[in-house]
Amino acid sequence: MEEAIVAADRSIATGTLSPLEELVEPELMPQLEEAFEDVLATKDFDTSNVDAGREYVMNYVTFTHLAEGEEHEEADLHPTAQTDDLHEVENVKVAGEHIEPETEEPKASWLPWGLAGTFFVTTIAGFLKRRV
Protein backbone atom coordinates (compact mmCIF):
# COMPACT_ATOMS: atom_id res chain seq x y z
CA MET A 1 0.00 0.00 0.00
CA GLU A 2 1.26 3.48 -0.79
CA GLU A 3 2.94 5.34 2.06
CA ALA A 4 0.61 8.35 1.69
CA ILE A 5 -2.50 6.19 2.13
CA VAL A 6 -1.08 4.53 5.23
CA ALA A 7 -0.23 7.98 6.61
CA ALA A 8 -3.73 9.25 5.72
CA ASP A 9 -5.31 6.35 7.62
CA ARG A 10 -3.00 7.04 10.56
CA SER A 11 -4.04 10.72 10.45
CA ILE A 12 -7.71 9.77 10.64
CA ALA A 13 -7.06 7.37 13.50
CA THR A 14 -5.06 9.91 15.52
CA GLY A 15 -7.06 13.01 14.55
CA THR A 16 -3.97 14.91 13.42
CA LEU A 17 -2.29 15.57 10.07
CA SER A 18 1.23 15.08 11.46
CA PRO A 19 1.75 11.69 9.70
CA LEU A 20 1.21 13.47 6.36
CA GLU A 21 3.16 16.69 6.93
CA GLU A 22 6.37 15.46 5.28
CA LEU A 23 4.59 13.63 2.45
CA VAL A 24 2.28 16.36 1.12
CA GLU A 25 3.37 19.43 -0.81
CA PRO A 26 2.77 22.67 1.13
CA GLU A 27 0.47 24.14 -1.53
CA LEU A 28 -1.95 21.21 -1.07
CA MET A 29 -2.16 21.59 2.72
CA PRO A 30 -5.15 24.00 2.76
CA GLN A 31 -7.23 21.60 0.63
CA LEU A 32 -5.97 18.63 2.63
CA GLU A 33 -6.91 20.31 5.93
CA GLU A 34 -10.43 21.01 4.67
CA ALA A 35 -10.84 17.44 3.42
CA PHE A 36 -9.44 16.15 6.73
CA GLU A 37 -12.00 18.15 8.72
CA ASP A 38 -14.77 16.72 6.51
CA VAL A 39 -13.53 13.16 7.13
CA LEU A 40 -13.36 13.68 10.88
CA ALA A 41 -16.83 15.28 10.91
CA THR A 42 -18.39 12.29 9.14
CA LYS A 43 -16.20 9.49 10.55
CA ASP A 44 -18.60 8.36 13.28
CA PHE A 45 -21.65 8.08 11.04
CA ASP A 46 -24.76 6.06 11.88
CA THR A 47 -24.18 2.71 10.16
CA SER A 48 -27.89 2.35 9.44
CA ASN A 49 -27.87 5.63 7.47
CA VAL A 50 -26.78 4.88 3.89
CA ASP A 51 -26.47 8.55 2.91
CA ALA A 52 -24.21 9.26 5.89
CA GLY A 53 -22.05 6.27 4.93
CA ARG A 54 -21.79 7.50 1.36
CA GLU A 55 -20.83 10.96 2.57
CA TYR A 56 -18.05 9.52 4.73
CA VAL A 57 -16.73 7.37 1.87
CA MET A 58 -16.71 10.34 -0.51
CA ASN A 59 -14.89 12.45 2.09
CA TYR A 60 -12.41 9.63 2.74
CA VAL A 61 -11.69 9.17 -0.98
CA THR A 62 -11.20 12.91 -1.47
CA PHE A 63 -8.86 13.06 1.53
CA THR A 64 -6.76 10.07 0.46
CA HIS A 65 -6.48 11.35 -3.11
CA LEU A 66 -5.23 14.68 -1.81
CA ALA A 67 -2.81 12.86 0.48
CA GLU A 68 -1.45 11.09 -2.60
CA GLY A 69 -0.83 14.49 -4.17
CA GLU A 70 -3.78 14.71 -6.52
CA GLU A 71 -5.24 18.21 -6.76
CA HIS A 72 -9.00 18.63 -6.64
CA GLU A 73 -11.17 21.54 -7.55
CA GLU A 74 -13.31 23.02 -4.78
CA ALA A 75 -16.42 21.43 -6.32
CA ASP A 76 -14.84 18.00 -5.98
CA LEU A 77 -14.45 18.35 -2.22
CA HIS A 78 -18.17 17.80 -1.66
CA PRO A 79 -19.42 15.44 -4.39
CA THR A 80 -22.21 13.89 -2.30
CA ALA A 81 -24.90 15.44 -4.50
CA GLN A 82 -23.73 13.16 -7.31
CA THR A 83 -24.41 10.01 -5.28
CA ASP A 84 -28.15 10.39 -5.86
CA ASP A 85 -27.59 9.26 -9.46
CA LEU A 86 -25.84 6.00 -8.51
CA HIS A 87 -29.06 3.98 -8.61
CA GLU A 88 -29.59 4.79 -12.29
CA VAL A 89 -27.02 2.30 -13.57
CA GLU A 90 -28.69 0.13 -16.20
CA ASN A 91 -26.11 -2.42 -17.33
CA VAL A 92 -23.62 -3.79 -14.84
CA LYS A 93 -21.06 -6.52 -15.39
CA VAL A 94 -19.28 -8.11 -12.45
CA ALA A 95 -16.58 -10.67 -13.28
CA GLY A 96 -17.96 -10.89 -16.82
CA GLU A 97 -21.48 -11.68 -15.63
CA HIS A 98 -24.33 -9.37 -16.62
CA ILE A 99 -26.43 -8.22 -13.69
CA GLU A 100 -29.88 -6.82 -14.29
CA PRO A 101 -30.76 -3.69 -12.31
CA GLU A 102 -33.16 -4.17 -9.46
CA THR A 103 -36.67 -3.13 -10.29
CA GLU A 104 -39.42 -2.52 -7.85
CA GLU A 105 -42.23 -5.01 -7.93
CA PRO A 106 -45.44 -3.30 -8.97
CA LYS A 107 -47.45 -2.57 -5.91
CA ALA A 108 -50.68 -4.56 -5.70
CA SER A 109 -53.53 -2.26 -6.45
CA TRP A 110 -56.12 -1.84 -3.73
CA LEU A 111 -58.92 -1.62 -6.33
CA PRO A 112 -59.34 -5.36 -7.07
CA TRP A 113 -59.27 -6.20 -3.37
CA GLY A 114 -61.66 -3.35 -2.61
CA LEU A 115 -64.07 -4.58 -5.26
CA ALA A 116 -63.79 -8.16 -4.01
CA GLY A 117 -64.54 -6.97 -0.46
CA THR A 118 -67.52 -4.93 -1.63
CA PHE A 119 -68.85 -7.87 -3.64
CA PHE A 120 -68.45 -10.18 -0.64
CA VAL A 121 -70.26 -7.81 1.74
CA THR A 122 -73.15 -7.15 -0.66
CA THR A 123 -73.51 -10.87 -1.39
CA ILE A 124 -73.68 -11.73 2.31
CA ALA A 125 -76.11 -8.85 2.91
CA GLY A 126 -78.31 -10.15 0.06
CA PHE A 127 -78.36 -13.67 1.51
CA LEU A 128 -79.21 -12.35 4.95
CA LYS A 129 -82.12 -10.24 3.62
CA ARG A 130 -83.62 -13.27 1.88
CA ARG A 131 -83.52 -15.33 5.08
CA VAL A 132 -85.18 -12.71 7.25
pLDDT in tens, the chain (132 residues): 588 889 999 999 999 999 988 888 888 889 999 999 999 999 999 989 999 999 999 999 999 999 888 765 444 444 444 444 444 445 544 455 555 555 566 566 667 777 777 877 888 877 777 776
Q: Which of 7, 98, 80, 84 is nearest to 38 (CA)?
A: 80
Range of the domain at 37: 3-85
The pLDDT of residue 128: 79
Domain for residue 92, yes or no? no
pLDDT at 110: 67
Tally the domains of the chain: 1
In a domain, 98, yes or no: no
- Spatial CA neighbour of 18 closest among 32, 31, 38: 32
pLDDT of residue 76: 46
What string of DSSP letters covers 46-79?
A: -TT-HHHHHHHHHHHHHHHHHHTT----GGGG-G
Q: Does residue 120 sit within a domain?
A: no
Q: Rg of the chain over CA atoms, in angstroms?
A: 28
Say if 16 falls within a structural domain.
Answer: yes
Give how far the C-alpha of residue 61 lies from the chain's centroid of Cα atoms, to the nearest Å.
Answer: 13
- pLDDT value of position 114: 75
pTM confidence score: 0.53
Per-residue pLDDT at 113: 73
Asked whether residue 130 is assigned to any structural domain, the reply reads no
**Within 13 Å, how many C-alpha atoms sit on residue 39's CB side?**
26
